[in-house]
């Protein structure tokens, strides 16, 4: 088995760095006006700092792919013409494109930058892949709706182009994301294909009969309504060997709007799984499936990959992803020793309440272990019984991480409601 790429989302500069530190070979990122994810938090990636983001990825030894994958109207084309030099000057390793007009502009104005064809084009067959190759694309991101056996056939028919497939993350009820529900339900204020989807597929629906406007009927027997449009999340970690054999060059994880913890933990699990299966193609990867239950998900499915997508691939009772483990704290800043007799206290940002005496799991790019929270102190060194959400405090663990700078802490085990 040859080398394959782990491609992680970079919703902002901080997530970009954590994604690479935790194992990504490449990241994909975009700016609001031309990307299918409109970010709202953190050190956002904009036209002004796009080059800095790409340079950061390169400095860390990773590739950076810039998404320009909206379905473009005339105004979008005009705007792109005005700022295309900034995209070109950022010197990304590729542009990810779905629109023919944007493809054409990039070929004319940035001919040296490779083009990857977005999954939004719904590429399902080898003739389509050949078509994009003839236009000059170097990689095609295949539709999520493809079984692995079809990917293998595409690779056999088109051996000299890169193929990228999604292996993990949220899925859309529409064909590879071509959806107008959000546009309709928000009167055009939240356009799905301009990066601002309100995710109506995750809402709970009830039935109303027109002559009985005040009477609501359950579509199925559930007190929370019915999430009949909401697919479970994709998780193909146990099928990496089959996908490598099929000729996949890049494994892509969805999630530019997901948390820093999500990006880090998922990158770590897939990095370890890929490295293990490359050494031993018959390795049992189920332990990584368990690891991935510790991050937010709506239940997992293999989707169309095995050719048997059915009603079990939909989450009828969960609209928001539930994590099997709670993200407890993010380490920050330099180590501060408040009391050398007790040990080293670390400054952290509390994400979920931590009680003194709790067992916690600490993960870093190179470590993963369970320890105990021995003490919490406020900024003045006063002992506290716990750290509350969003508190900036100092904590003492029974075992300290060697590389604390990118360390994260979470609860141990997997909560039973995650499947």
How far is residue 94's CA from residue 250's CA, in Å, rounded to a whole number?
14
Q: E-strand spans in 232-311? A: 233-235, 250-253, 300-301
pLDDT level of residue 323 (50, 70, 90 thresholds): confident
The pLDDT > 70 percentage for the chain reads 83
For residue 274 the two structure tokens come to 């890929």
**pLDDT above 80: residue 67:** yes
The per-residue pLDDT for range 225-276, each reduced to its tens digit, is 445 567 889 999 999 999 999 999 999 999 888 999 999 999 999 999 999 9
Give the model's pLDDT for residue 109.
96
Give the model's pLDDT for residue 381.
87
How far is residue 281's CA from residue 318's CA, in Å, rounded to a whole number?
34
The per-residue pLDDT for range 355-385, each reduced to its tens digit, is 999 999 999 999 999 999 999 999 888 999 9
- Domain locations in the chain? 5-176+230-313, 327-410
Bridging pattern class, strands 408-410 and 359-363: antiparallel
Options 3.40.50.880, 3.30.700.30, 3.40.50.200, 3.20.20.70; CATH of 5-176+230-313: 3.20.20.70
How far is residue 267's CA from residue 23's CA, in Å, rounded to a whole number?
6
Q: Minimal CA–CA distance to 12: which of 199, 270, 190, 255? A: 255
- Answer yes or no: are the C-beta atoms of 253 and 234 closer than 8 Å: no
How far is residue 22's CA from residue 366's CA, in Å, rounded to a whole number?
8
Q: E-strand spans in 170-307? A: 206-208, 216-218, 233-235, 250-253, 300-301
The per-residue pLDDT for range 93-140, each reduced to its tens digit, is 999 999 999 999 999 999 999 999 999 999 999 999 999 999 999 999
Q: Which residue did the predictor score with more confidence, 416 or 329?
A: 329
Residue with tokens 């170097």: 138
Options 3.40.718.10, 2.60.40.10, 2.40.50.140, 2.40.30.10; CATH of 327-410: 2.40.30.10
For residue 113 the two structure tokens come to 């930058």
Bridging pattern class, strands 5-9 and 26-30: parallel
The pLDDT > 90 percentage for the chain reads 67
């Amino acid at each position: 088995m040859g080398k394959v790429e782990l491609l992680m989302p970079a919703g902002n500069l901080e997530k970009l760095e954590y994604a690479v530190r935790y194992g990504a070979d490449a990241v994909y990122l975009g700016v609001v006006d031309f990307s299918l994810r409109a970010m709202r938090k953190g050190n956002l990636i904009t036209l002004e700092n796009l080059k800095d983001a790409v340079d950061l990825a390169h400095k860390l030894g990773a590739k950076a792919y810039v998404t320009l994958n909206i379905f473009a109207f005339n105004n979008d084309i005009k705007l792109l013409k005005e700022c295309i030099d900034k995209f070109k000057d950022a010197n990304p390793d590729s542009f990810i494109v779905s629109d023919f007009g944007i493809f054409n502009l990039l070929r004319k104005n940035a001919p040296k930058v490779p083009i990857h064809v977005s999954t939004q084009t719904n590429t399902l067959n080898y003739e389509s892949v050949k078509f994009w190759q003839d236009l000059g694309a170097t990689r095609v991101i295949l539709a999520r709706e493809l079984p692995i056996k079809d990917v293998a056939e595409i690779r056999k028919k088109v051996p000299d182009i890169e193929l990228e497939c999604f292996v993990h993350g949220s899925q859309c009820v529409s064909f590879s994301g071509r959806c107008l529900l959000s546009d309709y339900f928000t009167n055009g204020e939240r356009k799905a294909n301009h990066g601002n989807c309100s995710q109506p597929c995750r809402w709970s629906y009830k039935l109303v009969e027109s002559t009985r406007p005040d009477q609501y009927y359950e579509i199925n027997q559930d007190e929370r309504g019915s999430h009949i449009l909401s697919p479970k999340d994709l998780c193909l970690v146990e099928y990496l060997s089959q996908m490598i054999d099929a000729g996949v060059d890049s494994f892509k994880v969805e999630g530019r709007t997901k948390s820093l913890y999500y990006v880090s933990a998922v990158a770590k699990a897939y990095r370890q799984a890929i490295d293990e299966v490359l050494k031993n193609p018959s390795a049992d990867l189920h332990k990584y499936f368990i690891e991935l239950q510790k991050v937010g998900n709506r239940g997992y499915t293999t989707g169309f990959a095995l050719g048997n997508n059915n009603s079990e691939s939909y989450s009828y009772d969960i609209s928001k992803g539930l994590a099997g483990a709670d993200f407890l704290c993010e380490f920050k800043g330099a180590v501060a020793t408040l009391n050398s007799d007790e040990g080293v206290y670390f400054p952290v940002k509390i994400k979920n309440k931590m009680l003194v005496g709790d067992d916690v799991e600490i993960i870093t790019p190179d470590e993963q272990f369970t320890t105990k929270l021995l003490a919490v102190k406020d900024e003045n060194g006063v002992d506290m019984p716990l750290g509350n959400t969003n508190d900036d405090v100092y904590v003492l663990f029974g075992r300290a991480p060697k590389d604390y700078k990118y360390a994260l802490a979470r609860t141990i085990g997997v909560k039973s409601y995650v499947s």
